[in-house]
Amino acid sequence: MTSQFDTLDLAPFEAVIFDMDGTLLDTEAVFRTIVFEVCDELGYVMTDDVHLSMVGGSHERTNQLLIEAYGVAFPYTLFDQRCRIIMHERSQSGVPLKAGARELVSDLKARGIPTAVATSSRNPHAQHHLGAAGLLDLFETVVTRDDVLNPKPHPEPYLTAAHRLGVAPTLCLALEDSHTGVRAAHAAGMQTVMVPDLVHPSEEIRALGIAVMESLSHVHQAAFRRS
């Protein structure tokens, strides 16, 4: 069956900026399992609602959400440490990619279109995961939580990526899977496409005028349909 997104036309762009987890890398489902396991290990019951509220957020926002959900006694530092250790262990054999990710990034590279990553993850996590997925060398720059004062949904990560690429934000295509990331890219003035992973677009997100596409393969087709 033909997707409703197949005929979507993107405006011209001079650079592409990707979110990482859930957009380029198929890691959100793995991390979901870990979050539930670690909470159980610490004596707390994780719920789907709490988990989904965490998707796409910075570690500060995650800390806030977990304290709101479980109280000030929640051991966030230990939770964060355990999640990172287990995630690192489970990614040793490689990090799975989202459908169409390698093809799109490789084609952009071949066409001379600059690309960047703008992620809420810290630098060690981003470098390890992009490297394990074989994508790290394909990007001109990677902007992480360690590179900005204000994480998503603030536009700073996307504005920083555009500045490093030397391309005006309005000429950048931003690809995101989370509401937090969509708000950040939209606030930066970028043409923003949401490629849903675990979280689907809300009415608020759709009201921003954000395009929603099924996969990076669909984005790839829409981006170069006329070429």
The catalytically annotated residue of 6, 9, 21, 147 is: 21
Kind and range of the H or E element at 180? helix 179-187
Beta pairing class for 15-18 and 115-118: parallel
Does residue 48 have an active-site annotation? no
Residues forming a β-bridge with 174: 17, 192
Distant-in-sequence, close-in-space partners of 203: CB < 8 Å, separation ≥ 6: none
pLDDT at residue 6 in the model: 35
Residue 19 is a catalytic residue? yes
CA atoms within 13 A on the CB side of 106: 7
Query: How does DSSP assign 83-149, residue by residue?
Result: HHHHHHHHTTT--PBPTTHHHHHHHHHHTT--EEEE-SS-HHHHHHHHHHTT-GGG-SEEE-GGG-S
d(CA 209, CA 168): 20
**Active-site entry in 6, 9, 19, 147:** 19
How much is the pLDDT for 95?
Answer: 80
> Is 169:158 a contact under the CB 8 Å cutoff?
yes
pLDDT of residue 110: 97
Backbone angles phi, psi at 110, to 5 degrees: -65, -30
pLDDT of residue 71: 93
CATH fold of 15-26+96-223, please? Answer: Rossmann fold (3.40.50)
How are strands ordered across the β-sheet holding 191-194? 141-143, 115-118, 15-18, 172-176, 191-194, 211-212
Q: Which two tokens stand for residue 33?
A: 């399992």
Q: What is the DSSP code string of 163-181?
A: HHHT--GGGEEEEESSHHH
Each residue's pLDDT, cut to its tens digit, for the chain (227 residues) gives 334 343 467 899 999 999 999 999 988 788 888 889 999 999 999 998 988 888 877 788 888 889 999 999 999 999 989 988 888 888 777 788 999 999 999 999 999 999 999 999 999 989 988 998 999 999 999 999 999 999 999 999 999 999 999 999 999 999 999 999 999 999 999 999 999 988 889 999 988 888 999 999 999 998 987 55
Residue 90: its pLDDT value, please?
A: 81
